[in-house]
Structure 1
């Protein structure tokens, strides 16, 4: 309700909560020293180096795979992937223009928790309809290929020099 009705933002909420927690802990610590008691025992929280390194490596591998995929698509190696990525990015931009980031995160979490359960329950029906949709998409791609893509002039293939 805060985010939609009052146009409150997630980063603002996190900042305000952290300001409140820090202010309460600061005042509590000062009050304890004022009344001659020991300040509250605050544990030291640290991320272990091996965990941080493993997370950075995993993130680096994912980013490198995505960059490699975008490079292969940009070089024109696979038209189907190119059209699929363009369509997915367009759909993502349209969805992003309709709702904010927090709503997208909420929808993603909801889908991550419900779609696998629904697929397990209705796997036969989903596979049947997915097969029909795949067959129909292949027919439309063949029509697109024969009417449009095959008419695009292509240059002569260059032979590789052998040394």
Structure 2
């Protein structure tokens, strides 16, 4: 009889424990549900690519400097990148007018200079006589002096670039850099083909227009251009590796390379 009462007591205690556990579980689940309902789900941030992927390719110009600094960061860079639209449009318009005069109308430089000089002298002569006849006093025509500093800066910049080109050509002629030799020969060959299509003025005008359009397009759409350039660069490196293994590696080395390796 005592055992029966003990079993019934233990069963009652176990039943009560189950009921209390169920009640606690329901309350905790309901509280967690209410907490989740109170707290709105925060939008997931897009996962950024790892640094190794970002640092794998630095863009068309290396990616270390913006395009404005690559072009010098001064007034020429502002003109090429259309920081001041009026100045850039004016420069491009003057270049277009010069190209139309010399290429389409077939005006010659000496003829143009002479005609401009005749028109300027005639206008100043008539102006000075009209002022002297009306006011009876000699007119004041301002003196024009060209500053020295801009010409010296242009000459210095040209001298530096010419010296760099001569040093590069000297290194290529000595047979030290085969890649540079092939790149320069290919560039000169392409330039000769383009030169056979048009004259120097047209070629200069095309380069001038490209300088006013391509940097702006790249600065605006660099996130789309850089992956494409990366793919092209990888493909070129693969083709060059195949060409190097099949052709360039079989070319006998010159004496300068043997001395350098020794």
Q: Quickly name the TM-score band, shorter chain normalised.
A: 0.7 to 0.9
How big is the shift at 1:127? Answer: 0.8
- Listed as ranges, the matches of 1:13-92 within 5 Å are 13-26=112-125, 28-29=127-128, 31=129, 35=133, 37-48=137-148, 50-92=149-191
CA-based RMSD: 2.8
- Contact between 1:32 and 1:38, CA under 8 Å: does it hold in 2? no
Where does residue 147 of structure 1 map in the other structure?
246
Displacement of 1:133: 0.9
Equivalent runs, 1:73-152 vs 2, <5 Å: 73-152=172-251
Q: Which runs of 5+ in 1 are unaligned?
A: none
Deviations 1:104-163 (A, max 9, x none): 232222211211221122212211111111111111111211121111122562379xxx
Question: How many residues were matched structurally?
Answer: 158
CA distance in 1, matches of 2:183, 2:219: 26
Unaligned runs of 5+ in 2: 1-99
After superposition, the Cα gap between the structure-2 partners of 1:91 and 1:76, relative to the gap in structure 1 and judged at 3 Å, is same
- Which structure ranks higher in relative contact order (CA pairs < 8 Å, sequence separation ≥ 6)? 2
2:158 counterpart of 1:158: no
TM-score (norm 1): 0.78
Aligned to 1:108, what secondary structure does the other structure show?
helix
Calculate the TM-score normalised by the size of structure 2.
Answer: 0.52
| Aligned-partner Cα distance in 2 for 1:136–1:126 | 16
